[in-house]
Amino acid sequence: MAVSVQPSTSVQKYLADSPKKILIGGEWVDANSGKVMDVTNPATNEVLTQVARADETDADRVVQAAASAFENPEWRWMSASERGHLLYKMAELVAERAADIAEAETLNVGKPIFQSEDDVETVVDCFRYYAGATRLLEGATPAVPTDFFSYTLHEPIGVCVGIVPWNFPFQITAWKVAPALAAGNTVILKPASRTPLSALMLGQIGLDAGLPPGVLNVITGPGAVVGEALASHPLVGKISLTGETSTGTKIMKIAADGIKRISLELGGKSPSVVFADADLDQAVTASLTAIYFNAGQMCAARSRILVQEEIHDQFVSEMAARAHKLRLGNPLDREVHMGPMISQSHVETVRRYVEIGVSEGATLVAGGGQPDDPSLGSGNFYLPTIFDNVRNDMCIAREEIFGPVAAIIPFKTEEEGIRLANETSYGLAATIWTSNVKRAHRVARQIRAGGVWVNTNMTLFNETPFGGYKTSGMGRELGIESLMSYTEAKHVGVFLGETVRGFKI
Ligand code: NDP
């Protein structure tokens, strides 16, 4: 299948106009240095367009703008319902521009178009959800001694920085921007350098919706330069990063100096635990999706599939047979299941892990290389790959490969399945496959992960928290948990008695 990716006319125009500017204080401006960087299409490795390559001086400019926007009474004292109205307007504008955003995302990330369309749809709902949630920032009147009246307020933190990865650029952008704005903060968005387009589009949507200048800013540039400059800036109150665990460690150290609030959504090596009493057909279908969706470039990919020994052989042969049927190709083609990976260097990383798997003694039962279709030769494609007879202590079972590589690990008893599932430094997600309702809940409680799903893949809802135990991160995206994490709790205590307490002088 040829990879002649042809954007629609409107997206072609957007790319040709080349959004080479950053959004600071309500204006699209050049980076101070005037430098730009290429944005490529991973299906062809052709340059799609160029964006600004900002540096530390731009980071300072954008923080100053966001800090002064936070002090602007128009935003600072805006009522919750008005803020909700603006977020609702943003949701409507995302919905209106959904086709262009999804197409730009597919061209830039390489994910099949139906996946980008789903991402955009969830973003619309995310803005709607937090539009309503602005009015849920209710305080309390705790039962303090009767000569006091105490109440609590949830106030915005100030300038919040959202640093976003390349695998779900638009969705994760919304997960950070919508709750931060709902709580009344000002936001600086730093998209991944490989995938900045949808974040820039959201910046324009913020302007068009009528956010006051500087409330939502977008800056593009290398994370090691711009990201670190933002994270260490004294006027920044909170950093929310989604990225690699090693990047999370850096941000945590930087944030420690300024006692900044942080929320980290990091890597994973998530298990599916398939018991012998599971619906095998559904478990296989869903396990394929859970590892090959977005070419396995998912923090919550179920990359370790623990299969009870009674059904192990049948599971493996079904999984391998179906993996061979997955269609790779042009991600704009609606028949395609899997697009390219993000970059050639990432393909190289996956190739090295596959070599390690073979040398560790795991059995390669599907994939294990790039497709031989010459029409895919210029893109970053890699075949859906399955290793069987993997042990939990092997490198391919311990480290996050972040590509289309599944490791099947046999187990005997429920206790062993739980032990193997938990035997990882990560703790983001897990799926349990069983028809025994008691076992489902029993096992769900024992799994050390931020999300456990029963008889289904990960289905995220904007209403439910998402995040990790252990090295998978700290804090939660989505739900009310995320909204609250963008606030400071304030206690106001009022003395109602006659004689104030103090020194007896
Ligand atoms: P990176 O950590 O490399 O990059 C993520 C973001 O951080 C990018 O915007 C990047 O900018 C920026 N960045 C990089 N280095 C620094 C730094 N020193 N200081 C500040 N910012 C920096 O991750 P990837 O983009 O490679 O994303 C993949 C990772 O994200 C995987 O490990 C995956 O598991 C994780 N992830 C976690 C999710 C979760 O919810 N737990 C969800 C999705 C992904 P630039 O692009 O310019 O380098």
Q: Are strands 451-454 and 429-433 parallel, antiparallel or unpaired?
A: parallel
pLDDT of residue 3 exceeding 60: no
Separation of CA 163 and ligand 1 centre (Å):
7
pLDDT of residue 2 exceeding 60: no
pLDDT in tens, 306-352: 999 999 999 999 999 999 999 999 999 999 999 999 999 999 999 99
- Give residue 375's pLDDT band: very low, low, confident or very high (50, 70, 90): very high
Q: Fill in the DSSP letter of residue 243.
A: S
Task: Please provide the average confidence, as pLDDT, over all residues in the chain.
Answer: 96
CATH code of 138's domain: 3.40.605.10
Domain annotation covers residue 495? no
pLDDT of residue 204 exceeding 70: yes
Whole-number pLDDT of residue 364: 98
Ligand 1 probe mutation, 126, 299, 458, most atoms within 8 A of CB: 299
Domain annotation covers residue 307? yes
Within 10 angstroms of residue 38's Cβ, the number of other Cβ atoms is 13
CATH code of 439's domain: 3.40.309.10
> Is residue 124 located within the same domain as residue 251?
yes
Ligand 1 closest atom vs CA 248: 2
Question: Which residue's CA is the closest to the ligand 1 atom numbered 17?
Answer: 224
Ligand 1 probe mutation, 194, 247, 270, most atoms within 8 A of CB: 247
For the chain, the farthest-separated pair of C-alpha atoms sits apart, in whole angstroms, at 91
Whole-number pLDDT of residue 505: 85
Residues 99-104, mean pLDDT to the nearest whole number: 97
- Give residue 504's pLDDT band: very low, low, confident or very high (50, 70, 90): confident
Separation of CA 65 and ligand 1 centre (Å):
25
Ligand 1 proximity of 165 Cβ (cutoff 6 Å): yes
> Is residue 280 located within the same domain as residue 412?
yes
Whole-number pLDDT of residue 1: 43
pLDDT of residue 18 exceeding 90: no
Treating both helix axes as pointing N-terminal to C-terminal, what angle do 169-182 and 197-209 enclose, rounded to 10 degrees?
A: 30
Domain annotation covers residue 485? yes
> Is residue 236 located within the same domain as residue 320?
no
Ligand 1 proximity of 450 Cβ (cutoff 6 Å): no
Domain annotation covers residue 394? yes
Question: How large a percentage of the chain has pLDDT more than 70?
Answer: 99
> Is residue 332 located within the same domain as residue 241?
no
Within 10 angstroms of residue 156's Cβ, the number of other Cβ atoms is 23
Ligand 1 proximity of 242 Cβ (cutoff 6 Å): yes
Contact 238, 157 (CB under 8 A): yes
Structure tokens at 66: 């966001």
Ligand 1 probe mutation, 163, 172, 342, 345, most atoms within 8 A of CB: 163
Whole-number pLDDT of residue 487: 98
Give just the sign of the alpha carbon dihedral 118, 121, 126, 132: negative
> Is residue 135 located within the same domain as residue 218?
yes
Ligand 1 closest atom vs CA 299: 34
Q: Exposure of 13 by Cβ count < 10 A (0-12 exposed, 13-18 middle, 19+ buried)?
A: exposed
Ligand 1 proximity of 263 Cβ (cutoff 6 Å): no
- Give residue 4's pLDDT band: very low, low, confident or very high (50, 70, 90): low
Ligand 1 closest atom vs CA 191: 9
> Is residue 159 located within the same domain as residue 293?
no
Residues 154-181, mean pLDDT to the nearest whole number: 98
Residues 38-55, mean pLDDT to the nearest whole number: 97
Indicate which residue of 105, 117, 228, 265 is catalytic. Answer: 265
Separation of CA 190 and ligand 1 centre (Å):
10
126 catalytic per annotation: no
Q: What total number of domains does the chain contain?
A: 2
Residues 76-89, mean pLDDT to the nearest whole number: 98
Structure tokens at 319: 């999984």
Q: Exposure of 384 by Cβ count < 10 A (0-12 exposed, 13-18 middle, 19+ buried)?
A: buried
Indicate which residue of 103, 160, 299, 400 is catalytic. Answer: 299
> Is residue 187 located within the same domain as residue 283?
no
pLDDT in tens, 111-137: 999 999 999 999 999 999 999 999 999
Whole-number pLDDT of residue 5: 52
Residues 220-247, mean pLDDT to the nearest whole number: 98
Domain annotation covers residue 5? no
pLDDT of residue 151 exceeding 80: yes
96 catalytic per annotation: no
Domain annotation covers residue 231? yes
> Is residue 288 located within the same domain as residue 396?
yes
Hey, which residues does 488 pair with through a beta bridge? 155
pLDDT of residue 483 exceeding 80: yes
> Is residue 117 located within the same domain as residue 257?
yes
> Is residue 343 located within the same domain as residue 418?
yes
Question: Which residue's CA is the closest to the ligand 1 atom numbered 40?
Answer: 265
pLDDT of residue 108 exceeding 90: yes
> Is residue 362 located within the same domain as residue 429?
yes
Q: What's the per-residue H, E or C state across 378-409?
A: CCCCCCCEEEECCCCCCHHHHCCCCCCEEEEE
Domain annotation covers residue 498? no
pLDDT in tens, 427-474: 999 999 999 999 999 999 999 999 999 999 868 999 999 999 999 999
> Is residue 252 located within the same domain as residue 314?
no
Structural domain including 391 reads 271-454
Ligand 1 proximity of 270 Cβ (cutoff 6 Å): no
Torsion region of 353: left, alpha or beta (phi above 0 gives left; psi -120 to 50 gives alpha) = alpha
pLDDT of residue 231 exceeding 80: yes
Domain annotation covers residue 441? yes
Amino acid making up residue 383: L
Ligand 1 probe mutation, 242, 269, 399, most atoms within 8 A of CB: 242
